[in-house]
Chains A and B, each alone.
Chain A
């Protein structure tokens, strides 16, 4: 696709992702590329400087600070992005708690913001898609935008979208002379992958899929004519999607469907594509049950599930996460989806799942996680901090109710105030009763038996 076609495809900026679109607009049109690069790297540099300065100020005396803060306020005048609020907070620190000398408050507030940032700083803020180093395929650019704006969300959806985009990339790829497809295609794909990661951290599903893809590519036969090799790869991608996602989902739907009986009250949290299929499938099979949809900020995805279920006339109850204590006594099963499953049996899933599982376990309600095998990660995760992701600040999901006016709500950072919206959390294996996969129903600790069940040596 030509560059001009790409520009028209970029959607009009959504109301609160203003800070993302100017740069992406700029990067899409190659004529403005050098200018945007300068801006972008400056913003990255500024962020890093901010963090270093804050860390230094926390340890040193107040001496070097005025110099540092003035430098930052000078830099803050250029461009919008996240670092501006921290330097603004240092400036505003002067007006801080009454009756204290200005220097002291400056030090205090930068200390505080330093501490706040230090605790969760490794989460990293969502960054706008970086400058294109090397040739990024237009589909990948589009995909990156869709990821960063959360238009495509959910482990399965993102994986399928990524693989489909890669199919296009592979088809458009031409092996340069004196090179083999199996070696060069990998280097060709790397910047594309980096671009996607910079838009939004890679999900475990994407990671596993891409690893398989790379394996296939490096194993492709050198003697095959290029078009055949490419077709073969696309075929393998299709097989992967079909086998490990689509068909796996159908098997899970049948297996989990047997756990649903007439008259059950099923509780589910946020929106899992697999759980949605299970519920719809069970209802189509003639089982009559009711569903409790629990939802929460930041994403409020449960509403989408709610519209799907109520369109099928399934009796639904909707509530927000804090109210779960009131209904859990009447629930027969809890069905949740997962982002990934780790080798110690912990489930990494949408933030809030851990609370739901904990409450359910307290009231002896079985918690069933529906998870395809391709979501398994070989790592061990002990808490929700190491690999989490933050949603961008502001109300991009329109998750606040209309009855409360937006100016009474805090949507952006202020002096002394940070906003944190972790997207995921880790449910410990003790809260989970069973995991339903396409190879069977297993307890969460038996993840190591899966490769055997799949007939291979590793996941």
Chain B
């Protein structure tokens, strides 16, 4: 076990991505997720391991490094957890033979009821049963240390390819039912530029005639790009400043937002301005719908800072140096993300179906393994 699990090439790959994350050269939930999966795939293909724990530990250390580089990009950690989940699943299937340990007592207990509802067994210790060698997987084989890895790797590569495919088809899957969510002559409000919402709205455009109001989302003014993109797709768009969100809300039928990360309690981090839109919508009882891929599900909570992800952007986009001596005397605040409480959200439209914020905890339980919540 003293062999250095991460050889030099792997370390370099991981370091490259970590420094890119740190320098914010890779930004955006989907981009970071894709890059992370690619790095993990390379790591797994090159790494040497002789039992499942070693592999898990390797992946975890890679994940820790990446998450430390940029803790605000939650999808990095999520992807690592997802890959770990798939690895364990593949491993369990591969070692299927003797490994199905069912707690076959017939007494009805709450524990059994809860456990049976689990999609797979999480708490059953597999290690002991598997050291009795069985057909397919040879662990800790002293003569052939790579046997285990060799048999498992192709399966793992497939699993990672699944994750990659899921990431690449996220927009298509989310937009599948777009036309069922939007009805004719509806007025939808959106803010900022979320590629998921954009894909969703464009998917419904050929089937429905509706209007989209885009708030320009100071100080990034991403709303302008969104409005440009939507109007060139033939959707009737209205660009308004953020100040008129409340004024127009009485005529808006639906608010559609994108998310940066979905938290375990059903809340989310989203671009600044989402809290305003969601609160105004709540005041008018307008439904708030969030379009997000499942890779944004984060098993974390927002405990300490009620108002945001504590990620700040460049203050000069709020008060620039052209203001002269004001720059010295005035404090400028430019937070990039808002935290939106689960009570303000009505539905999450994900690539795996629509869910209310109250079932997000279940989705997280199904997507990730308990022991991975702390990488």
Contact = CB atoms under 8 A, between A and B. Distances in A.
Contacts of B47: none
Given A296-B218, A354-B247, A425-B246, A408 B239 contact: no
B314 A403 contact: yes
Contact of B331 (A113, A316, A329, A351): A316
A417 B219 contact: no
A10 interface: no
B359 interface: no
A321 B338 CA distance: 12
A297 B243 contact: yes
Interface in A145-163: none
Contacts, number: 198
A329 B234 contact: no
B233 interface: yes
Given A119-B211, A319-B318, A355 B280 contact: yes
B326 A404 contact: no
Q: How large is the interface on B (under 10, 10 to 19, 20 to 34, 35 or more residues)?
A: 35 or more
Given A354-B246, A425-B246, A113 B236 contact: yes
Contacts of A321: 218, 242-243, 273, 276
Nearest to A325: B275
A322 B241 CA distance: 10
A319 B334 CA distance: 7
B162 interface: no
B308 A403 contact: no
Contacts of B142: none
Contacts of A354: 246-247
Name which of A116, A315, A355 has the most chain B CB atoms within 10 A of its CB. Answer: A355
Interface in A325-379: 325-329, 350-352, 354-355, 358-359, 362
Contacts of B276: 321-322, 324-325, 355, 359
A111 to B, nearest CB: 7
Nearest to A98: B234
Contacts of A414: 231
Nearest to B340: A325
Contacts of B338: 322, 325-326
Contacts of A416: 230-232, 234-237
B308 A325 contact: yes
A407 B333 CA distance: 26
A111 B209 contact: yes
A279 B333 CA distance: 21
Nearest to A293: B330
Contacts of B217: 322
B317 interface: yes
B326 A409 contact: no
B216 A401 contact: no
Nearest to B313: A323
Name which of A105, A306, A352 has the most chain B CB atoms within 10 A of its CB. Answer: A352
B225 A408 contact: yes
B283 interface: yes
B308 A313 contact: no
Interface in A383-427: 383-385, 388, 400-404, 408-410, 414-422, 424-426
Interface in A106-144: 108-109, 111-113, 115-116, 119-120
Interface of B: 185, 187, 209, 211, 216-219, 221, 224-225, 227-228, 230-248, 250-251, 272-273, 275-276, 279-280, 283, 306-308, 314, 316-320, 322-323, 326, 329-335, 338-339
30 contacts: A112-B236, A119-B211, A297-B243, A303-B323, A313-B329, A315-B331, A316-B330, A317-B332, A317-B333, A318-B332, A320-B318, A322-B273, A325-B275, A326-B333, A326-B335, A329-B306, A352-B242, A352-B246, A355-B246, A358-B246, A358-B279, A384-B244, A384-B246, A401-B219, A402-B322, A403-B314, A408-B224, A418-B237, A420-B244, A422-B240
Interface of A: 96-97, 105, 108-109, 111-113, 115-116, 119-120, 296-298, 303, 306-307, 310, 313, 315-329, 350-352, 354-355, 358-359, 362, 383-385, 388, 400-404, 408-410, 414-422, 424-426
